């Protein structure tokens, strides 16, 4: 049986710092039967000119449509039996595509196989970036196995499975992955595996990271109501408790100025948050030591506060807005 063609689809928006490294990593793949489609989503930083120096199909979009729209455009231009989605701020290990093909060959029922970025970042990062990469790696590594959530930044999907699930919903700008993966998982098993690996460059400033956590948490509220459950794998009950306690720990700090007992409440909530998701703190301590883990703990408490605040805002919006309540419901065409 001939080896299948793999279409690597890369959505790109203002990714000048990383796109060259990303495309070099695709060229260095050990698997030979690859086509590469880069969809430039109306970038303004010249990254399309860099992509054009590589042997790729470059699709230029005049108006920014978001990652779901870009991935749809890439799939339409692709010919492969397997579509490997790769974000432009990631690089792949040389065996990534070969491992995806092997996994599909070993498991004919799998519809998608998603990879796990390394615990080391793509570039040297500050403390916020180090926290984010380490936490991102641990949560995915700890969820390794069959999942209902998709990680389309680094993962492969059978074309047949993608077509059954349908196109990415282009109305969703930041939660298009969970929507598409839920539709795909309803028909095909999906695997999260460290056999597919890469390196990621992520947010290195706290304010944008908190904003992203807030927005994504808010937008998940109607998804949870529609599906009646969290995503299998990463979103555990313990982590929900940890987020709530982390948010309480931060919220109680200002009240310590009024009454010292509030500081005890904050400390108790923080300790409870750590205990509820202890594995990630133990992992951080083993990898980076005590002082970094102290920073990791504080940073994660702030992110937890943004998540809880986002959920609260989402609940209010869910009650007030019919459009928000129905944002994940099926439509006649999602393309």
pLDDT digits (tens, 9 = 90+) for 38-79: 999 999 999 999 999 999 999 999 999 999 999 999 999 999
Neighbours of 102 (CB within 10 A): 14
Q: Are 10 and 84 in contact (CB under 8 A)?
A: no
Task: Compute the distance between CA of residue 173 and CA of residue 65 in angstroms, rounded to an integer.
Answer: 8
Distance CA 331, CA 334 (A): 6
Q: Express each pLDDT in 87-123 by its tens digit.
A: 999 999 999 999 999 999 999 999 999 999 999 999 8
Distance of CA 174 to the CA centre of its chain: 10
Question: pLDDT of the chain along its 335 residues, tens only?
Answer: 579 999 999 999 999 999 999 999 999 999 999 999 999 999 999 999 999 999 999 999 999 999 999 999 999 999 999 999 999 999 999 999 999 999 999 999 999 999 999 999 998 889 999 999 999 999 999 999 999 888 999 999 999 999 999 999 988 888 899 899 989 999 999 999 999 999 998 888 999 999 999 999 999 999 888 877 666 666 677 788 888 888 888 888 888 777 778 888 888 988 999 999 999 999 999 999 999 999 999 999 999 999 999 999 999 999 999 999 998 876 544 44
- Per-residue pLDDT, 242: 85
Residues of the chain by 3-state class (helix, strand, coil), percent to 5: 50, 15, 35
Give residues with Cβ within 8 angstroms of 239, minimum separation 6.
276, 277
3-state secondary structure of 161: helix
Contact, 144 vs 194, CB < 8 A? Answer: yes
Res 2: pLDDT: 78
pTM of the predicted model over 0.75: yes
Contact 234, 193 (CB under 8 A): no
pLDDT at 1: 58
DSSP codes joined into one string, 15-76: -TTTHHHHHHHHHT-S---EEEEEEEES-SSSHHHHHTTSSSEEEEESS---HHHHHHHHHH
- C-beta neighbour count of 197 within 10 angstroms: 18
């Amino acid at each position: 049986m001939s080896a299948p063609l793999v279409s690597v689809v890369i959505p790109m928006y203002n990714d000048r710092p990383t796109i060259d490294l990303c495309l070099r990593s695709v060229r260095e793949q050990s698997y030979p039967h690859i086509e590469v489609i880069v969809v430039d989503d109306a970038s303004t930083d010249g990254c399309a000119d860099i992509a054009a120096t590589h042997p790729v199909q470059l699709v230029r979009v005049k108006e920014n449509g978001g990652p779901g729209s870009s991935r749809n455009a890439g799939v339409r231009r692709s010919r492969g039996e397997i579509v490997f989605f790769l974000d432009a701020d990631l690089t792949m290990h040389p065996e990534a595509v070969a491992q995806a093909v092997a996994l599909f060959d070993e498991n004919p029922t799998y519809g998608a196989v998603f990879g796990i970025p390394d615990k080391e970042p793509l570039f040297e990062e500050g403390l916020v970036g180090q926290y984010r990469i380490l936490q991102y790696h641990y949560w995915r590594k700890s969820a390794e196995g069959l999942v209902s959530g998709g990680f389309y930044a680094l993962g492969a999907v059978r074309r047949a499975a993608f077509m059954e699930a349908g196109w990415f919903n282009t109305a969703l700008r930041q939660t298009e992955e969970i929507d598409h993966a839920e539709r795909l998982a309803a028909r095909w098993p999906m695997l999260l595996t460290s056999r597919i690996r890469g390196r990621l460059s992520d947010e290195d400033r706290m304010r944008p990271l908190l904003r992203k956590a807030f927005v994504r948490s808010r937008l998940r509220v109607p998804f949870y109501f529609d599906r009646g459950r969290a995503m299998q794998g990463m979103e555990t009950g313990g982590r929900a408790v940890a987020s709530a306690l982390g948010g309480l720990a931060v919220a109680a700090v200002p009240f310590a100025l009024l009454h010292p007992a509030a500081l005890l409440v904050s400390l108790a909530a923080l300790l409870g948050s750590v205990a509820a998701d202890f594995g990630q703190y133990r992992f951080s301590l083993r990898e980076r030591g005590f002082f970094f883990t102290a920073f990791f703990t504080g940073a994660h408490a702030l992110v937890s506060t943004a998540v809880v605040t986002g959920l609260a805002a989402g609940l209010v919006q869910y009650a007030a807005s019919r459009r928000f309540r129905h944002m994940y419901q099926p439509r006649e065409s999602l393309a």
